[in-house]
Structure 1
Amino acid sequence: MLTVPEPNTTVVVVTWRGAGHITACLDSLAAQQRPHRTLVVDNASDDGTARLIAAHPSAPQVLRLSRNRGYAGAMAAALSVVDTPLMAWLNDDAVAEPDWLAELEDGLGTAAAAGAKLERPDGTPQSVGVRLTADGHGADTVEAPAFGFCGGAALLRTDVLRAVGGVPASFFCYYEDTDTAWRLRLAGHEITTVPSARVIHRHGASTRPGSKPFHLWNERNRLLTLLRCAPAAVAMRELARFAALTVLLPLRGNVPDAANFRLPLRCRVLAEVVLRLPATLRARRRIGRRSTAGRGQIWRNWTSH
């Protein structure tokens, strides 16, 4: 009797109200050249998404959450049930090329994580990973080498991800990939980029870039990531800058018309960071105990790229 080898990878797709695009994503996974398992984490969708997933001919495994935990919370929940050596992350508004997973698995080598290439629907490149800016933002880059992977399409070693503390579930959405990549780097692991592993990404189909929640999560989670992973002087500098700008906003003219320059939102960011500070500092100590590379060295190595 022919024995079919167990798949190496579980592809995790997080969805919330994804009825408009989840089918195309699952179709692309069903067409993959490399055997795998598919796990869909449904963040309590109420728009018919659950029905579409259940009816899909690929019959993916489904983990339906009782409430919306965001991308980070859903990935953390998925990590608790994944039992394959590798775990792929794929946005529900992405369509993977048929060789996407094969290219990632073959390109991973000895690295702990590999980032794919995300392209916009018009074919222009969106990201091959994340770079670190001088003020500690995690920004998409189309140039390799990249500091980290983009969480929209990536492959990670399951045991290594667990060993560095998993996914920061409390982030809800955004910076969970930058934070995870940073912790991998601190623990001495390599992250590689596989541009031949391509997905078409409808960026922002599940969230609304530019909205108040978008800016809240981005600003808050950047500061939390810095407090968890960056050199202490960098983290305190950026927190102080954010607070100072917030205090001075009412006195400034020509304030940009963007949600992240509105006083109530910035005050909420600061309040949430302060409330989370004890848990964040405990996490920083745990990260430090796992680290084999210095925070300062990682910062110097990658903010110059």
Structure 2
Amino acid sequence: MTSAEPSTTVVVVTWRGAAHVTACLDALAAQTRPHRTLVVDNASDDGTAGLLAAHPSRPRVLRLRRNTGYAGAMATALDQLDTPLVAWLNDDAAPDPGWLAALEDTLDEQTLAAAVTSRLELADGTTQSTGVRLTADGRGADLTEPTDEVFGFCGGAALLRADAVREVGGVPAAFFCYYEDTDTAWRLRLAGWHVVAADRARVQHLHGASTKPGSPLFHRWNERNRLLMLLRCAPAGVAVREVARFAVLTAVLPLRRMKQPAANFDPRLRARVLAEVAARLPSTLLARRRITRIAALGRGAIWEAWAGL
């Protein structure tokens, strides 16, 4: 690759994105920094394919035969890249013209950082995310105030060093959707990398255009993937504690006789989460061993430095 070639491939994952993917591609076409665009279409059946083919920016399109979720599509895209940097961008996000330049410049300045996250703003102007923090119970939670360094990046709009991601095991495709970003950031930190924020890299985000926050599927993926992430990345005591807490609460919920509980307090949904975690436990523990082998820092050190902040 010559110096004149783009440093970044922007990966846009779409599924039934006909209502908003054009605005995303329009915003990418207006970027001040040259780049490549790869759209991974998760077997959309709503006319998305036609819109992608007709867009004047002529993005490269990788159409999958089935819906592999955001995590699966990102994992597939990582194998298709030949640029040193990869940007993650939701199909319902529209970055400002200087977005990519701000992210690239930040990584150039922050040589110890493997990822830089954007400032995501909702349609009403409120801030959705300036990065991700790690809670005391091992959840990834959005920050809304500017800060230089963050625990993790928001997968809706971020820039990463592609080789660093590959070296820590890539994107966890089996997560399907949610927590693939926090899991990736955690593994990067274990390998000794930093994660930073670029507040001037602004993105307008519809949020939840493809999946519905608060829905049973949303809670199923969130709860399952949080536990899997902890089993992969957290200190053993933390992971066992949180799985046990989840199981105990699941067992006692039927005794509380809650009227129309939220989906994440539905015992049937929670039982399914536990079953899925149990089914994935052998592969998850193998992944934990691989993560341990490549780690430059201890799990306890990362937890003590970032959990609950």
TM-score range, shorter chain: over 0.9
CA deviations on 1:242-272 (whole Å, 9 max, x unpaired) are: 0000010111144672111111100100000
Q: Equivalent residues in 2 for 1:146-185 (5 A)? A: 146-185=150-189
Aligned sequence identity (%) = 71
Counterpart of 1:301 in structure 2: which amino acid? A
Cα pair distance change 1:196/1:172, threshold 3 Å: same
SS in 1 for 2:274: helix
Instruction: Verify: 1:230 aligned to 2:229, yes or no.
Output: no
The count of residues paired between Structure 1 and Structure 2 equals: 303
Report the residue type matching 2:138 in the other structure.
G
Q: Distance in 1 between matches of 2:93 and 2:296?
A: 35
Distance across 2 between alignment mates of 1:266 and 1:277: 16
Q: Distance in 1 between matches of 2:259 and 2:45?
A: 38
* Alignment partner, residue 9 of structure 2: 10
Structure-1 residue corresponding to 2:120: 118
Structure 2 match to 1:268: 272
Gaps of 5+ in 1: none
Counterpart residue number, 1:85: 84
- Deviations 1:110-144, CA, capped at 9 Å, x for gaps: 11100000000111111011111100111111232
Q: 1:137 to 1:304 in 2, by over 3 A?
A: closer
Instruction: Specify which of 197, 217, 221 is matched with residue 213 of structure 1.
Output: 217
Report the secondary structure of 1:102's partner residue: helix
Q: 2:101 & 2:163 partners in 1: Cα distance?
A: 20
Give the secondary-structure state (helix, strand or coil) at the position aligned to 1:14.
Answer: strand
Query: 1:181-260 counterparts in 2 under 5 A?
Result: 181-254=185-258, 257-260=261-264
Two-structure CA RMSD over aligned residues (Å): 1.1
Where 1:112 maps in the other structure, the secondary structure is strand
C-alpha contact 1:228 1:287 (8 A) present in aligned 2: yes
Amino acid at match of 1:303: A
Is 1:138 paired with 2:137? no
**What's the TM-score, normalizing by structure 2?**
0.96
Cα deviation 1:33-55 (Å, max 9, x = unaligned)? 00000000000000000000000
3-state DSSP of counterpart to 2:261: coil
Aligned structure 1 segments of 4 or more residues deviating by more than 2 angstroms = 253-257
What is the DSSP-based 3-state SS (H/G/I as helix, E as strand, rest coil) of the residue aligned with 1:296?
helix
Map of 1:35 onto structure 2: 34
Q: Aligned partners of 2:257 and 2:15: how far apart in 1?
A: 39
1:94 corresponding residue in structure 2 = 93
In 2, distance between residues paired with 1:30 and 1:273? 41
The 3-state SS of whatever aligns with 2:275 is helix
Name the TM-score, length of structure 1 as normaliser. Answer: 0.98
Give the C-alpha shift of residue 304 in structure 1: 3.6
Query: Residue type of the partner of 1:233?
Result: G
CA distance in 2, matches of 1:292, 1:132: 20
> Which is further off, 137-146 or 171-180?
137-146
Shift of 1:187: 0.3
Deviations 1:19-39 (A, max 9, x none): 000000000000000000000
**Alpha-carbon distance, 1:11 to partner:** 0.1
